[in-house]
Amino acid sequence: MTEKTQRLEIVTPERKVYSGDVRFVVVPGVEGELGFLPHHAPLVSALDIGVMRVQEENRTFKVAISGGFVEVRNNRVVVLARTAEREDEIDRERALAAKARAEERLKARTPDIDIVRAELALKRALARLKAVS
Applying CB under 6 A, which residues contact ligand ATP?
14, 66, 83, 85, 89-91, 94-95, 98, 121, 124, 128
DSSP letters along the chain, please? --TT-EEEEEE-SS-EEEEEEESEEEEEETTEEEEE-TTPPPEEEEEEEEEEEEE-SS-EEEEEEEEEEEEEETTEEEEEESSEEEGGG--HHHHHHHHHHHHHHHHH--TT--HHHHHHHHHHHHHHHHHH-
Question: Closest separation between CB of residue 23 and ligand ATP, Å?
Answer: 26
Minimum separation from the CB atom of position 66 to ligand ATP (A): 5
Name which of 57 and 89 has its Cβ closer to ligand ATP.
89
Q: Which is nearer to ligand ATP, 105 or 124 (CB)?
A: 124
Q: Least Å distance between CB 39 and ligand ATP?
A: 31
51 versus 98: smaller Cβ distance to ligand ATP? 98
Residue closer to ligand ATP, measured from CB, 49 or 72: 49
CB of 12 closer than 8 Å to CB of 52: no
Cβ 89 to ligand ATP, closest distance in Å?
6
